[in-house]
A and B are shown apart, each in its own frame.
Chain A
Amino acid sequence: MKIHIKNGRLIDPKNGIDAVQDIFIAKGKIVAIGAAPSEFQASRVIDAQGLVVCPGLVDLSVRLREPGLEYMATLESEMAAAVAGGVTSIACPPDTDPPLDEPGLVEMLKHRAKNLNQAHVYPIGALTQGLKGERLTEMAELNDAGCVVFGQSDGLLPNLRVLMQAMRYASTFGFSVWLRPQEITLTGDGVAHDGEVATRLGLLTVPVCAETIAIANIVLLAKEIGVSVHLCRISSAEGLAMIRVAKQQGLPITCDVTINHLHLSDMDIGFFDSNCHLMPPLRGFSDRDALRHGLLDGTVDAICSDHAPVDEDAKLLPFAQSDVGATGVELLLPLTLKWAAEMRLPLLKALARITTEPARILGIDAGHLSVGSAADICIFDPDHYWKVTPAAIQSQGKNTPFMGMELPGGVKYTLVNGHIVYEH
């Protein structure tokens, strides 16, 4: 199918383009930008007048809940949600049931995802068997099966000796290690930031040092071993400051924040809103502001949705007993646009945080619009505000702290490999 996208405002952070230009697609690839190739006969013309045409988004943390957790969500529901959010490449944490620690499971997931013909799925392999932090997984085999990076998801970090060996082993093959910094002995049963809100509500807390101590350990190990490390879902100003120093030293370290931590603080828990039961916990205003600025100055490399659909009943419980997580893949673009507007940041720079940068971290050829590259494209109306309602969300998970809010950025078309996989 040959597609001509005309009159759109093309924004491609990688190539530094922000201009009204046409795109021509054939055989799944971008064949020309600007002028049409000779004898190009479009079978479909998309008029993108007033719309932004950008690379399909890359989301570094989307839980598809398969295998094993289909009561929360299915591959069908969440893959549909991803493309409805303009997301064309997704990294899936290994915290499925069983965890993604065997090549067969990864192959099955890749196969199922491929048959759905929607977003590209990049499973994050488990770093240790069963995510238990004891024995290494067959990383090279898992890589053959399709895992590009390795991590522990929200599971506990291995003890330091095992972690060091896991990093060494991963670095043997050039794999990067993705870790959410969390010292589990300090996290304990904590569910909220150690601050005034938790003190008022009588909730068990997760101190900031649970994050900073883990960052210190990980950074020192990464330095010792020379492995590239991605720190997932940073929540605190202090943690960010440590990462800034590590980056200044030239260590191969990257990090991301979630859409939730970019916009919310522990105050949003209000009267025990279980939609704000997230991990790491939402922290204070000063932490949130540090993350917003860290993303601006590049200390934070990327924004992820940390998409975690959960069963509705599992949120109708007292705060600490409710399931952790929020749906989010459809809010990645709107909440990035909201952040950019609030920080007065041009779209070209803002979109880099959900296209070029996450693609670089994941090590994939995606997140840009170059002639010859796969036609993974998101077309959205930046001025369209829509209300987040259960019906407006494709994901099976309807749990988000942003429910009821009006957010900018309506996705009109999503293309994967030159196919229109979503149209609104």
Chain B
Amino acid sequence: MINRNPQLDEHGTLQHLLTTEGLPASVLLHILDTAESFVGVTERDVKKIPLLRGKSIFNLFFEPSTRTRTTFEIAAKRLSADVFNLNIAVSAQSKGETLLDTVNNLSAMNADMFVVRHSQSGAAHLIAKHVQPDIHVINAGDGSHAHPTQALLDMFTIRRYKRDFRNLRVAIIGDILHSRVARSQIHALTTLGVPEVRVIAPKTLLPKMVERLGVHVYHDMAKGLKDIDVLMMLRLQNERMKGANLPSPEEYFKYYGLTPEKLALARRDAIVMHPGPMNRGVEIDSEVADGKQSVILPQVTFGIAVRMAVMSILAGNQV
């Protein structure tokens, strides 16, 4: 039995941000528009606004992460919230406490919002289903399923540089199979009206029936990059570089790594994105990563504004 989209309440208001899938374009655009208003805040001398004063936000990271956790922490602090970081990978879970026990204990400490990172697909949905109705859950990455704030900051970046989603060709390149980022990007891009989304990868890094998500599948960079406006690179995890998925990082780089020569196959004004952290010389050449077409560092900056937007919208504060 399919239930109502668990992210939205009966009025269509965002209660949790768990995935970009199934959210209407209006909700995604509202987040992007709200984020625009926060970009200015992050550039001021005094970088704080009191929107979430008195709110308690718990960063629940069941899987190690520095970058994502830090940007969520910065975003929350700029909104004047109280932030508590829990590195659960090394605390409660190792003592045998279940995921929901941990969440219930923290709820009892009057949490207002949970930012959750977990190695299992569906962990954020599970938590959202079991918290009290006034607690909001933000998925900061669950298994191979979703990483919606990353996808939203990517959309924000694309809109900044390319203005209109409706005349773009976008290519997502790399380990689609294991990537929560790729899944969230695909749903966001198709929802926002991008007419052509491609995925480029060897067959060992593509999930079955991926074309059903609304993408065109390519295995050859030369063909796949033709006429592309936006290149979204994915990180290749170390453990996947050698073994049954790929023979070696060197061969991967040769055929799928983004070099200046391959980038030249895309449109001349194409932008290059990467969710970080990068494996230079594996999925991307340093010359490209640091080159003129790269928007990788702006992505990080915009990530804070986008996370501020998500938090303030979930807390019910309009700007």
Chain A interfacial positions (CB closer than 8 Å to B):
194-196, 198-203, 205, 207, 267-268, 270-272, 313, 316-321, 401, 404-405
**With A and B bound together, what is the CA distance between A203 and B120 in angstroms?**
9
Which of B83-91, B143-151, B250-258, B263-271 is the interface stretch?
Answer: B143-151
A200-B21, A267-B2, A271-B3 are contacts. A316–B100 as well, Cβ < 8 Å? yes
Q: Does B170 contact A (CB under 8 A)?
A: no
Known: A200-B183, A202-B144, A271-B6. 4 other contacts (CB 8 A): A195-B209, A196-B209, A271-B122, A405-B1
Distance from A80 Cβ to chain B, minimum over Cβ atoms (Å)? 28
B49 within 8 A of A: no
Closest to B130 in A: A316
A to B CB contacts below 8 Å, 29 in the list: A195-B208, A199-B207, A199-B210, A200-B21, A200-B183, A200-B213, A201-B121, A201-B122, A202-B142, A202-B146, A203-B121, A203-B122, A203-B144, A203-B145, A268-B1, A270-B2, A271-B3, A272-B121, A313-B98, A316-B100, A317-B126, A318-B99, A318-B123, A318-B126, A318-B142, A319-B122, A320-B120, A320-B121, A321-B120
Residues of A within 8 A of B183 (CB): 200, 202
Q: How far is the CA of A320 from the CA of B6 in the complex (A)?
A: 20
Q: Is the CB of A316 within 8 A of B126?
A: yes
Establish whether residues B145 and A201, one from each chain, have CB atoms under 8 Å apart when the complex forms: yes
What 5 A-B pairs come out closest when comparing CB atoms?
Answer: A202-B144, A272-B122, A318-B120, A202-B145, A199-B207
Shortest beta-carbon distance from A384 to chain B in Å: 22
Q: Report which B residues bind A (CB closer than 8 A).
A: 1-3, 6, 21, 98-100, 118, 120-123, 125-126, 129-130, 142-146, 180, 183, 207-210, 212-213
Q: How far apart are the CA atoms of A202 and B122 in the complex, in Å? A: 9
Contacts of B145 in A (CB 8 A): 201-203
Q: How far is the CB of A201 from chain B (nearest CB, A)?
A: 6
Shortest Cβ gap from B190 to chain A (Å) = 12
* Residue in contact with A272 in the complex, picked from B1, B125, B209, B213, CB distance below 8 Å: B125
B5 closest partner in A (C-beta): A271
In the bound assembly, the distance between CA atoms of A272 and B126 in angstroms comes to 8
Tell me the complex Cα distance, A268–B6, Å: 15
Q: Could you tell me the distance in whole angstroms from the C-beta of B2 to the nearest C-beta in chain A?
A: 5
CB <8 Å contact, B121 and A319:
yes
A293 to B199, CA, bound (A): 38
CB-nearest residue of chain A to B129: A271
Which residues of chain B have C-beta atoms less than 8 A from A198's C-beta?
Answer: 207-208
| Shortest distance from the beta carbon of A335 to any chain B beta carbon, whole Å | 15
C-alpha spacing A203/B130, complex, angstroms? 21
Q: For residue A316, which residue of chain B has the nearest CB?
A: B100
Expressed in whole angstroms, the minimum distance between the Cβ of B228 and any Cβ of chain A is: 23
Closest to A314 in B: B98
Q: Please name all residues of chain A whose beta carbon is closer than 8 Å to the beta carbon of B208 when the two chains form the complex.
A: 194-196, 198-199, 205, 207
Q: Hey, which chain B residues are within 8 Å of A207, CB to CB?
A: 208
A270 x B122 contact (CB < 8 A): no
* Cβ–Cβ < 8 Å partners of B207 in chain A: 198-199, 205
Task: Kindly provide the distance from the CB of A49 to the nearest chain B CB, expressed in whole angstroms.
Answer: 35
User: Which residue in chain B gives the minimum CB-CB distance to A321?
Assistant: B120
Smallest CB gap from B206: residue in A: A199
Contact B99–A317 (Cβ < 8 Å): yes
Q: Which residues of A contact B120 (CB under 8 A)?
A: 318-321
Query: B18 — nearest CB in chain A belongs to which residue?
Result: A271
| A271 touching B125, Cβ below 8 Å | yes
A313 to B212, CA, bound (A): 34
Q: How many angstroms from the CA of A194 to the CA of B126 in the assembled complex? A: 22
Contacts of B118 in A (CB 8 A): 318
A270 CA to B123 CA, complexed, in Å: 14
Which of A196, A267, A401 counts the most chain B CB atoms within 10 A? A196
- A contact residues around B123 at 8 Å (CB): 318
A202→B21 CA distance, assembly (Å): 12
Look across to chain A and name the residue whose beta carbon is closest to the beta carbon of B100.
A316
Q: Are B2 and A202 in contact (CB under 8 A)?
A: no
